[in-house]
Amino acid sequence: MTRTGIGYDSHRLVEGRRLVLGGVVIPHARGLAGHSDADAIAHALTDAILGAAALGDIGAMFPDSDPAWRDADSMKLLATAVGRVRDAGWSPAQCDITVIAQEPRLAPHVPAIRAGLAGVLGIPVGQVGLKGKTNEGMGFIGRGEGIAVLAVANLEPS
Ligand code: MG
């Protein structure tokens, strides 16, 4: 039996912050606002993995009211979530992610992000899907106010 989880995250784009997506610092005039590093790929994927194992969500595991997670490296939070899932008898098998951002272009950074995520999940890079889309200028994403990420993850019994 395999288990499937879905995750979603969005953060506001603001000046004076680094843009971190999937653990990669992307050169851009603005970055994502948040209590942690606001890495929306790591957050959405963490929720997908926790959801597949029915282990709750990132907000319950790492509350943003807790100073311990201030400016946290979200790839470390993802690694912690993967560890909890493994403790529950599941192993990541595959994931697929869509980043919706009017800018910057994700394509140049896709290989580095996939490699980093594969490392944290302990799976081959060929089992990590990652695509970037714009929102065709529509809505908050189209106006460049923020970035959203969708993620799906599959787990198999370990
Ligand atoms: Mg988030």
Residue range 3-157 forms a domain whose CATH class is: alpha beta
What is the pTM (predicted TM-score) of this model? 0.97
Q: Distance from the CA of 157 to the center of ligand 1, in angstroms?
A: 27
| pLDDT tens string 9-64 | 999 999 999 999 999 999 999 999 999 999 999 999 999 999 999 999 999 999 88
Q: Distance from the CA of 77 to the center of ligand 1, in angstroms?
A: 11
Q: Distance from the CA of 47 to the center of ligand 1, in angstroms?
A: 10
Round to whole Å and give the CA distance between 88 and 110.
30
Output helix, strand, coil percentages for the chain, rounded to the nearest 5.
35, 30, 30
| pLDDT tens string 54-107 | 999 999 999 888 888 888 899 999 999 999 999 999 999 999 999 999 999 999
Compute the CA torsion angle 54, 6, 45, 138 (nearest 10 deg). -150
Q: Burial of 54 by CB count in 10 Å (0-12 exposed, 13-18 middle, 19+ buried)?
A: exposed
